[in-house]
Structure 1
Amino acid sequence: MKKNFINEEEVEAMKSLPLLIKKLNSAGNYKQAFKNVYDAMSKYPDNPVPHNLLGILLEKSDDHNLAMKHFRIAWILDPTYEPANQNLLNFGDFYSKKHFAYSEEDCPKEKKESYTIIYDDKHIGHVVKKNDYYNLD
């Protein structure tokens, strides 16, 4: 049975790995980037970060199918890991945006919309954005 505990070494390694891979990618040092990702993947096989980063490296190497598989693996390992979800969205259609989400900082911030229900004269409720509701004349 797998133990559920927080490994501080793993947490620190997974915080620094995306930044390192991003730097290696921008410097064009793909061989070292692949090596670092493979090392992290072998050391922490249940962590979504190395799979997401491997997906980015594969996408940059024009291996789209394998890249998408690794984005999905990262998402399956942790459905709350936003970079994997963002990469699936960015590269999952024909008109990909070519924007890589290495870490949470690369993901767009979600805006929370406030909604309210207004009732018309027939007592039918309509869900509208609060900003639109207060701007109605």
Structure 2
Amino acid sequence: MLENENNNAPEVHNLYGVLAELTGDLGLAGKHYRAAYALDPAYKPSSRNLERITSFYYSPWDTNPDFGDQPETEEVTNYVLEFDNRNIGHLRKRSQ
């Protein structure tokens, strides 16, 4: 490990997972992807990588890992949460 490397950053574990995956060690890759997810569940690249390598349809020849170098796009939901007069929440579809 490098001296200035932050071992508690999900990006580091995600990249270690990518490296392990590219060398064929899926067990180690999964451990690093899970460590990245545990450090920051909102970090999407590790979630996508973990989901990809644990998929039934995973193929080592079609490897396309998420390095985390692209900016995340914000997910737009089509529903909004509204509360009625009894403070019960209801999902309502947004009008376009």
Question: What RMSD in Å do the two structures reach over aligned CA positions?
Answer: 2.9
Tell me which residue corresponds to 1:99.
Answer: 64
Taking CA–CA contacts closer than 8 Å with sequence separation of 6 or more, which of the two structures ends up with the larger relative contact order? 2
Give me the TM-score of the superposition, normalised by structure 2: 0.67
Give me the TM-score of the superposition, normalised by structure 1: 0.49
User: Are positions 1:39 and 2:2 aligned together?
Assistant: yes
Q: Which has a greater percent of helix?
A: 1
User: Are positions 1:72 and 2:34 aligned together?
Assistant: yes
Q: How has the CA–CA distance of structure 1 residues 128 and 90 changed in structure 2, closer, same or farther, with 3 Å as cutoff?
A: same
Q: How has the CA–CA distance of structure 1 residues 106 and 64 changed in structure 2, closer, same or farther, with 3 Å as cutoff?
A: farther
Q: % of aligned pairs identical?
A: 30
CA deviation map 1:24-61 (0-9, x unaligned): xxxxxxxxxxxxxx326x73121111111010011011
Q: Gaps spanning 5+ residues in structure 2: where? A: 81-91
Secondary structure, in 3 states, of the residue corresponding to 2:2?
A: helix
Report the alpha carbon displacement of residue 129 of structure 1 after superposing the two structures with TM: 7.5
Q: Is the 8 A contact 1:75 1:84 kept in 2?
A: yes
Larger Rg: 1
Tell me which residue corresponds to 1:29.
Answer: none
